[in-house]
């Protein structure tokens, strides 16, 4: 596994992947012919997983999927300052690089990109990206005003450096996934965004790097969140009224400080009737001061 500590190392790695696989030096038709005659690959693909580190089973599920679908898998670890507000946990966000690298090695990641902040951002005022307000000023964006702008900025930089064919994101961060898909579509970016299911621990809590902030009491209280998700999922087999389903979820969340518990469509507009394939239950709640998010894609 290669550890790429700056842009130059990343670009060298990428060029090597391309060379090895005989693409970009010849056209695809020639590559195909050459591949057929020499049994070399001609359409090598790079799968990319952006992360902020403190890796867990959720991240590793994205690695697994990428490895299945691509010739090369690269994961970045970068705690992105521009997506944190001034009073958020940027400084105390868990940083566990050596452990993360071990997990990546075990899981067969080909390369890990760990740039510095100076590598990713210039000192001058930079071009910024503003996501559509309808998607970004609500839910997570309502309390974290420039969060999604910071996410898009760094994700676009990574896409442009790595130029993957496929990039893997968790459905856990539902709003982020929808906003990134919208950017890719609006800016005609040439890659696929693959949304992957939420990975949960043995008690059902959605895995998150921030779960390390939960002590035992908080952890047990937090389990109301997956209970709310499950109750809603079960109720959806016989109920499609969105308000009723929200009420069923809210009942399980009693005692938590709920920021939101809402059923919306993929444009994040409120809906009355839940239809499979275009509805999500979004939950954010604070448990002993730790803010957790979870969701259900109907
Ligand atoms: P983060 O390191 O928190 O920025 O997350 C990196 C990627 O992992 C994002 O696409 C997340 O949505 C995804 N992810 C985080 N937790 C989970 C989980 N429990 N299940 C699936 N994907 C996850």
Q: What is the pLDDT of residues 48-59, one digit of tens each?
A: 999 999 999 999
Mean pLDDT check: name the lowest of 17-26, 64-73, 237-246. 17-26
Q: Which atom of ligand 1 is nearest to the CA of 176?
A: 12
Q: Which residues line ligand 1 (CB under 6 A)?
A: 51-52, 58-59, 61-62, 169-170, 172-173, 196, 198-199, 206-209
Q: How many CA atoms lie within 13 A of 44 on its CB side?
A: 22
Find the mean pLDDT for residues 23-47.
58
pLDDT in the model for residue 17: 84
Q: Does residue 68 have a pLDDT over 50?
A: yes
Q: Does residue 238 have a pLDDT over 60?
A: yes
**59 part of the active site:** yes
Tokens of residue 164, six digits: 């993957």
Cα gap 26→35, rounded to integer Å? 11
Residue of 107, 167, 170 to test ligand 1 pocket, by largest number of atoms within 8 Å of CB:
170
Find the mean pLDDT for residues 155-170.
98
* Strand order across the beta sheet in which 111-113 lies: 2-4, 111-113, 72-77, 46-51, 166-170, 192-196
Pairing of strands 2-4, 257-264: unpaired
Residue of 56, 57, 59, 158 to test ligand 1 pocket, by largest number of atoms within 8 Å of CB:
59
Q: Which atom of ligand 1 is nearest to the CA of 200?
A: 19
Q: Does residue 28 have a pLDDT over 50?
A: no
Confidence of residue 36 (pLDDT cuts 50, 70, 90): low
Ligand 1 centroid distance, CA of 72 (Å): 20
Cα gap 120→137, rounded to integer Å? 25
Confidence of residue 263 (pLDDT cuts 50, 70, 90): very high
Mean pLDDT, the chain, rounded, equals: 93
Residue of 52, 55, 58 to test ligand 1 pocket, by largest number of atoms within 8 Å of CB:
58
Q: Which atom of ligand 1 is nearest to the CA of 50?
A: 6
Predicted structure pTM score:
0.93
Angle (CA) 46 126 111, round 5°: 20
pLDDT in the model for residue 229: 98
* Atom 5 of ligand 1, nearest CA residue: 51
Ligand 1 centroid distance, CA of 173 (Å): 7
Count of CB atoms situated within 10 Å of the CB of 251: 12
Ligand 1 centroid distance, CA of 290 (Å): 17
pLDDT in the model for residue 275: 94
Confidence of residue 24 (pLDDT cuts 50, 70, 90): very low
């Amino acid at each position: 596994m290669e550890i790429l500590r700056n842009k130059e190392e990343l670009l060298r790695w990428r060029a090597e992947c391309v060379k090895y696989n005989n693409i970009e030096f010849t056209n695809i038709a020639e590559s195909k012919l050459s591949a057929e005659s020499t049994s070399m690959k001609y359409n090598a693909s790079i799968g990319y997983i952006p992360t902020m580190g403190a890796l867990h089973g959720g991240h590793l599920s994205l690695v697994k999927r990428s490895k299945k679908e691509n010739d090369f898998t690269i994961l970045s670890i970068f705690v992105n300052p521009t997506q944190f507000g001034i009073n958020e946990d940027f400084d105390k966000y868990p940083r566990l690089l050596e452990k993360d690298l071990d997990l990546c090695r075990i899981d067969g990641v080909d390369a890990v990109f760990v740039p510095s902040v100076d590598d990713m951002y210039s000192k001058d005022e930079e071009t910024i990206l503003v996501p559509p307000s309808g998607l970004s000023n609500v839910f997570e964006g309502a309390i974290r005003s420039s969060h999604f702008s910071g996410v898009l900025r760094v994700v676009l930089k990574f896409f442009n450096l790595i130029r993957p064919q496929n990039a893997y994101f968790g459905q856990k961060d539902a709003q982020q996934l929808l906003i990134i898909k919208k950017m890719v579509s609006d800016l005609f970016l040439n890659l696929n965004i693959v949304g992957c299911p939420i990975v949960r621990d043995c008690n059902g809590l959605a895995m998150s790097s921030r779960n390390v902030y939960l002590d035992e009491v908080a952890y047990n209280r937090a389990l109301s969140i997956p209970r709310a998700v499950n109750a809603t999922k079960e109720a959806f087999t016989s109920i499609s009224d969105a308000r009723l389903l929200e009420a069923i979820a809210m009942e399980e969340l009693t005692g938590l400080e709920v920021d939101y518990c809402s059923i919306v469509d993929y444009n994040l507009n409120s809906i009355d009737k839940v239809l499979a394939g275009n509805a999500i239950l979004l939950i954010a709640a604070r448990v002993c001061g730790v803010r957790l998010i979870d969701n259900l894609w109907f």
